[in-house]
Structure 1
Amino acid sequence: MSQNSQKMSKESNWMGCIAVSKDAYTKLTGRREIYVVWRGTGRNMEWEEDFTFSLVPLDPDNQDVQVMQGWNDIYTLKDSDPQFPCNATSAREQLLSKLNELVELYKNESLSIVCVGHSLGGALAILSSFDIVNKGLSKKEGKAEECFQVCAMVFENPKVGNKAFKDRFEELPKLRALRVRTDGDIVPYWPFSSDYVDTSSVLVIAANKSPYLKPFSLDLQVVLHTVAGWNGEGADFHLEVKRSLALVNKQGGNLKDELLIPEGWWVEKNKGMVLDEDGEWSETPGWNCKSSSNGHQL
């Protein structure tokens, strides 16, 4: 992703990726897992979308099922500006096209799709998981009445749609979601309008249970740290998952000072500048709409 504002448009930015489980893991679990990963709010212009909270239909043929306009815009907008080739197709079109390819590629295996995201990314994970099933992408080859599992695993996500969206989400076959919400975070209550309804089950955790965190700590790394040590409301905090404490301070300063972990220690190498074959330094190309060997960028 380019860090240069002159190389960006409002509609274009790296929003996530698609990845597929390797053969060894697939053999271990008995299924091929496709992951759709959405990032959270990262730019000022995305905050504008976060506050565009009128309800609009996701599809014109169903006016009752409505989602927040801000999420819908990020998911569906496209532009023909030749300066930004990635804009020619929407995130939705890129996602569904690539998933169609992968479902066809692995049609003879047991499949599942997992959509994950934090904050804005959580809203997009809920929205895209719904879209995948609603569009019929999860139907098994040659078995019109059977579907494989699609689920969303989201952290601190705002609300996505109205009651009709919730009802339709819950009636779609083999579509599930789990929302993780940290006690004290207001983002999952946004938008505050009664026109919006929460979707799916929720796991409420409390970051203040961790003995390693400063008071009132809250960001994605804090949430993941808390989940790793969460054993229930009435149980002691204990890290059941091996996860480095240093990750908590990757982009913030939420660990207690006595742990001696630098704050915000992750920085982009050389601020995105790369050395080419001619010995010239230039910024990493900002626009790449193609698949890589490890996944597909959105």
Structure 2
Amino acid sequence: MTPTKSPRDNIPTNWRDGLLEPLHPSLRREIIKYGEFVEATYDAFDFNPLSEFCGSCRYNRHKLFEELALTGNGYKVTKYIYAMSHVDVPKWFERSEMGRTWSKDSNWMGYVAVSSDMETERIGRRDIVVAWRGTVAPSEWFMDLKTKLDRFGSKQSRIQVQHGFLSIYKSKSEETRYNKLSASEQVMEELNRLVIFFQERGEEVSLTITGHSLGGALSLLNAYEAATTFPNLFISVISFGAPRVGNIFFKEKLRVLEVKTLRVVVKQDIVPKLPRLNWVYRHVGVQLKIDKVVSPYLKQDSDLSGSHNLELYLHLLDGYLSKKSKFRWNARRDIALVNKSSDMLIEELRIPEFWYQLPHKGLVLNKHGRWVKPGRQPEDIPSPCPNDASTHVLATCT
């Protein structure tokens, strides 16, 4: 069937109850939209350990959505977020030191984007999006595995969250180039600027925070800070395959702050079951559980890593109707996307596994007939202080 996306109808400002079971077509499309924003953080991430820019985004923020064919969603990126995770790890965990790297301490973790006038009219409010990347760097895995709890908030607070997630969110150092401000400070500084800018124009503003895996955990930390900073802001979290983040007091505080949280979980994915201390750690929000067994296009094996793949999540979402329904017969999202970074599709489809990669694995033929690593265009080289800030983006949103 011809790959076309689910309808993108005008939607109400506040979702009413009962849209998850069965899943409303327009809500399905909105969830997938935010999932695609998160997928962009993987597709644009420089994974190559031989690259001097390993750990950064391959594109500057003005062309990110254009390069990844996401301009149709009607958003513009205003800021990139960097986080420290290269701390207290064994030597064998460290990023390759082959050649000069853009940063030994920081990784690109995501971005902030804002809806255009046309998209704002469709959804009923000016939507600010924060998209957080999941785990790809070895040192992030090391931090993720720690189960120690740290206090989050005031000294009197009983709220505790997982040590590794909080460290990635809050770490900073004057000795670094990209993390003189923590990821927390970077994103909250941008949110403060955007919220004030649009509210002073009399607009209704919403904040949607989304992430996959580790990014889902960071989304909840971000939502807590945003809700305590902007008490009257409509804040929602849409996470995919996210682990547990904090204790019952963290869960209860987010409820009191009226943060709306939707957790999308694949039944076969082990990550949402982590950390396993479920008498200490508690999930937050409403769960939408989907089962990969329902899809007729997937291999039915026990590949746990494949079950955590974000493109698998989006494929299953596109086919989901209800808990007791079969895979949606008129699902239109391109099935080939499942195999971008996995081998989950059945052989009969003849879709290559792990097909998403740079031509010639990133090498180019230069004028001397040599295959070499290409340089980057000056505008695509990471910069901690873009000289135009994001004023231009705000102007072009209108």
TM superposition score category, shorter chain reference: 0.7 to 0.9
Gap change, CA 1:97 and 1:49, over 3 Å in 2 = same
1:90 aligned partner = 182
**TM-score relative to the length of structure 1:** 0.86
The residue aligned with 2:163 is: 69
Q: Distance in 2 between matches of 1:274 and 1:288?
A: 24
> Superposition pairs for residues 52-67 of structure 1, below 5 Å?
52-67=146-161
- Hey, what's the Cα distance between the residues in 2 that align with 1:21 and 1:43? 30
Q: Which letter does structure 2 place at the counterpart of 1:22? A: S
Query: What's the CA shift for 1:258?
Result: 1.1
Trace 1:117-266 onto structure 2 (pairs within 5 A): 117-134=211-228, 136-137=229-230, 139=231, 147-173=232-258, 175-193=259-277, 194-216=279-301, 217-218=306-307, 219-238=309-328, 242-266=332-356
Q: CA deviation at 1:118?
A: 0.7
Greater per-residue strand proportion: 1
Distance in 2, Cα, partners of 1:105 & 1:93:
18
Cα RMSD for the two superposed structures: 2.5
Instruction: State the Cα distance separating 1:63 from its structure 2 match.
Output: 3.3
Q: What's the secondary structure of 1:113's corresponding residue?
A: strand
Quote the residue 1:101 is aligned against. 193
Deviation by residue 1:134-190 (Cα, 9 ceiling, x = unmatched): 2x22x4xxxxxxx121010001100000011111111014x1101111112221111
Aligned partner of 2:124 among 15, 23, 30: 30
Aligned mates of 2:111, 2:360 — CA distance in 1: 23
AA partner of residue 375 (structure 2): S
User: Quick check: 1:274–1:283 contact (8 Å CA) kept in 2?
Assistant: no
Is the contact made by 1:119 and 1:187 (CA closer than 8 Å) also made in structure 2? yes
Distance verdict in 2 for CA 1:287–1:271, change over 3 Å: farther
Q: Say if 2:103 and 2:177, in contact at 8 Å, map to a contact too.
A: no
Equivalent in the alignment of 2:383: 288
Partner AA of 2:233 in structure 1: F
Verify the 8 A CA contact 2:227 2:233 in the aligned structure 1: no
**Amino acid aligned to 1:268:** L
Count of matched residue positions in the alignment of Structure 1 and Structure 2? 280
Structure 2 letter corresponding to 1:104: I
Deviation at 1:239? 5.7
Deviations along 1:185-240, one digit per CA (max 9) or x if unpaired, are: 22111111121111111111101100001114511111110011011121111165
1:224-267 Cα offsets, whole Å, 9 max, x none, are 10011011121111165531111101111111111111111111
The percentage of aligned residue pairs carrying the same residue is 35
Cα distance in 1 between the residues matched to 2:327 and 2:374: 48
Instruction: Provide the residue aligned with 2:26 in structure 1.
Output: none
Partner SS for 1:248? helix
1:101-143 alpha-carbon deviations (Å, 9 max, x no partner): 1101211211111111111111111111111102x22x4xxxx
Secondary structure of the corresponding residue to residue 36 of structure 1: strand
Give, in whole Å, the separation in 1 of the partners of 2:383 and 2:162: 28
TM-score in terms of structure 2 length: 0.65
CA 1:43–1:104 in structure 2 vs 1: closer, same or farther (change >3 Å)?
same
Q: Which runs of 5+ in 1 are unaligned?
A: 140-146
Deviation at 1:281, TM superposition (A): 4.1
- In the alignment, is the contact (CA less than 8 A) between 2:149 and 2:161 conserved in 1? yes
Q: 1:101 to 1:238 in 2, by over 3 A?
A: same
Q: Any stretches of 5+ residues in structure 2 without a counterpart? A: 1-45, 47-52, 56-95, 366-372
Which letter maps to 1:76? K
Contact preservation (8 Å) 1:228, 1:239: no
Single out whichever of 58-67 and 48-57 deviates more from structure 2: 58-67
Q: 1:271 to 1:86 in 2, by over 3 A?
A: farther
Asked if 1:115 corresponds to 2:209, the answer is yes
CA distance in 1, matches of 2:336, 2:155: 49
Task: Kindly state the Cα deviation for residue 70 of structure 1 after the two structures are TM-superposed.
Answer: 0.4
The answer (yes or no) to whether the contact 2:143–2:164 under 8 Å persists in 1 is yes
Cα separation, 2, equivalents of 1:186 and 1:225: 18
Instruction: Provide closer, same or farther for how the CA distance between residues 152 and 255 of structure 1 changes in structure 2, counting only shifts above 3 A.
Output: same
> How many angstroms apart in 2 are the aligned matches of 1:272 and 1:67?
39
Distance apart, 1:287 and its partner CA: 3.2
| 1:228 and 1:240 in contact (8 A); partners too | no
Which residue, out of 21, 31, 35, partners 2:115?
21
Select between 259-268 and 237-246 the one with higher mean Cα deviation.
Answer: 237-246
Counterpart Cα distance in 2 of 1:12 and 1:172 = 31
How far the C-alpha of 1:269 sits from its partner, in A, is 5.5
Structure 1 pair 239–117 and aligned structure 2 pair: CA distance change class (3 A): farther
